[in-house]
Amino acid sequence: MSDTFIPYGRQIIDEDDIAAVTAVLRSDWLTTGPAVGQFEQAVCGYTGATHAIAVSNGTAALHISMLALGIGPGDEVIVPPMTFAATANCVLYCGGKPVFADVLAESLLIDPAAVEAAITPRTKGIIAVDYAGQPCNWDALHTIAKKHGLFLVADACHALGAEYHGRKVGTLADITVFSFHPVKHITTGEGGMCVTNSPELAQKLRMLRSHGITTDARQRETTGAWFYEMTELGYNYRITDIQCALGLSQLTKLPQWIQKRNELAQAYDASFLHSAVRPLQTAPNCLNAYHLYVVRAKERDTLFAKLRAANIGANVHYVPVHLHPYYKNNLGTHPGMCPVAEQAYEEIITLPLWPGMDSSSVQRIVTACQNAADEPNR
């Protein structure tokens, strides 16, 4: 097989990105400097949120979100099973209990009816995941949250640039979390961010990012003061200026990358019409940011093996979180708790999709899928 390997996702780094990073390396501030605030402001401008707190990775952003919202022992937070483990782990970090609410079969987004059924007197909030890049049913989630006095966090690590009723993801929940890992829409190497419209939450998040201390080193230097106080148990979840300069440069390319992801997804969708390979559905009021292109196939394991044999980097997102051994052993979760996610897990496969890919790669992947379906299984 001489065809080159197509990964399921990868970053694009150009000379502008390299120049931006190099400029920071020649400057005075490698961390907690001006590039951090500039990147935060740029993401605010892009999403429409009023406050942004950049941190070392998306998992750290989820962790400080739970802390800022006051999660502790005895508290329950409702999460979907069809996500990366970090969505639920952040609740455990704080001593709380993640409670799994099943997803909808056609989109794999959290099912509002399942959320409502999972509410107990200990429920404090909901973390909803904009799975694959499609915003959840935020209207329904808001209604539930309001009725029961719950917070809403958007794990939008898949959905930077997505839109819901014409509104960018970033202002649909109390706190929205992004990741800048290289497979995500834009990268800082490792990196993450919380955005919020609440000044109180923003201040808490900022403190928790840096040891729970009231000022940072640059503020102390500019005011000439040595005094600071630690008022909360915070962490060192800071991100460097080197990373933020890369993020700023990457962000300028995001709109064209979202468009390219949508074009590639539409090419896939059109090719899979009337096929045994069934794409997930996007609601008409949503712009999908297509972090992942996920399809369902009955003979998933065969398809996966044949795609890998054809040098195509198919993947599976995700093993439902409640089926991981850690969760089974420590929280008593088990198969049967989330039947829709469990059934989907048997059938889903992520096909390559990233903005550097061309339409001939889509054709090669579609043909490989069709060949896999046509060949008799041995």
Ligand X SMILES: *Cc1c(COP(=O)(O)O)cnc(C)c1O
State the amino acid at position 142 in one-letter form: H
In the complex, least distance from residue 2 CB atom to ligand X, rounded to whole angstroms: 33
CA 193 to chain centre: 11
When the beta carbons of 103 and 366 are compared against ligand X, the nearer one is: 103
Strand ranges across the sheet with 293-296: 278-279, 293-296, 348-351
* Alpha-carbon distances of 46 from 39, 50, 248, 253, 291, rounded to whole Å: 10, 10, 11, 12, 17
In the complex, least distance from residue 48 CB atom to ligand X, rounded to whole angstroms: 21
The one catalytic residue in 168, 184, 260, 306 is 184
In the complex, least distance from residue 246 CB atom to ligand X, rounded to whole angstroms: 14
Structure tokens at 186: 């834009």
In the complex, least distance from residue 210 CB atom to ligand X, rounded to whole angstroms: 18
CB 30 within 8 A of CB 241: yes
When the beta carbons of 75 and 190 are compared against ligand X, the nearer one is: 190
When the beta carbons of 191 and 234 are compared against ligand X, the nearer one is: 191
Dihedral of the alpha carbons of 142, 147, 148, 151, in degrees to the nearest 10: 30
Task: Enumerate binding residues for ligand X (CB under 6 A).
Answer: 57-59, 83-84, 86-87, 129, 155, 157-158, 179, 181, 192
Whether 253 is catalytic is: no
In the complex, least distance from residue 59 CB atom to ligand X, rounded to whole angstroms: 3
Structure tokens at 324: 């991981």
CA–CA separation, 209 vs 32, rounded Å? 11
> Which residues have a Cβ under 8 Å from the Cβ of 367 and sit 6 or more positions away?
none
CA–CA separation, 140 vs 143, rounded Å? 5
When the beta carbons of 291 and 306 are compared against ligand X, the nearer one is: 291
Strand ranges across the sheet with 51-55: 51-55, 192-196, 175-179, 151-155, 123-129, 76-79, 97-100
| Cα dihedral 80, 84, 90, 92 sign | positive
In the complex, least distance from residue 30 CB atom to ligand X, rounded to whole angstroms: 20
Q: How many Cα atoms occupy the beta-carbon half-sphere of 124 within 13 Å?
A: 18
Q: Which residue is nearest to ligand X (CB)?
A: 58
CA–CA separation, 342 vs 237, rounded Å? 34
When the beta carbons of 83 and 361 are compared against ligand X, the nearer one is: 83
* Residues labelled catalytic: 184
